[in-house]
């Protein structure tokens, strides 16, 4: 899977947001707030990833257990799918 759509990740006053533009902005009105771990996953998804590689990324970056990382990745990917910002490649 890989991130898709016309979206920019920006850090604004210490907060991470996805800013849609072009055709994506016609579907998504406004910015999407991300946590620090969400921004980490979004950056990783700029290249093709598996769910397990994203879990491994969170385990490398944060002090968490595998089950929590797995749940967080699943939830994040579900949200991206709902927003049509994830391509299954």
Domain ranges of the chain: 2-87
Give the residue carrying structure tokens 């994830």: 86
Query: Of the candidates 29, 5, 35, 2, which has an alpha carbon nearest to the alpha carbon of residue 17?
Result: 35
Task: Print pLDDT tens along the chain (89 aa).
Answer: 999 999 999 999 999 999 999 999 999 999 999 999 999 999 999 999 999 999 999 999 999 999 999 999 999 999 999 999 999 98
Which option is the CATH number for 2-87: 1.10.10, 3.40.1130, 1.10.3470, 2.102.10?
1.10.10
Conformational region of residue 84, where left means phi above 0, alpha means psi within -120 to 50, and beta covers everything else: left
Please state the pTM of the whole predicted model. Answer: 0.94
């Amino acid at each position: 899977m890989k991130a898709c759509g016309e979206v920019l990740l920006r850090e604004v006053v210490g907060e991470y947001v996805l800013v849609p533009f072009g055709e994506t902005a016609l579907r998504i009105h406004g910015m999407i707030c991300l946590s620090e771990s969400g921004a980490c996953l979004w950056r990783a998804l700029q290249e093709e990833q598996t769910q397990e590689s994203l879990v491994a990324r969170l385990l490398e970056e944060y002090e968490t257990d595998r089950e929590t990382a797995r749940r967080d990745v699943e939830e994040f990917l579900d949200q991206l799918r709902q927003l049509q910002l994830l391509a299954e490649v």
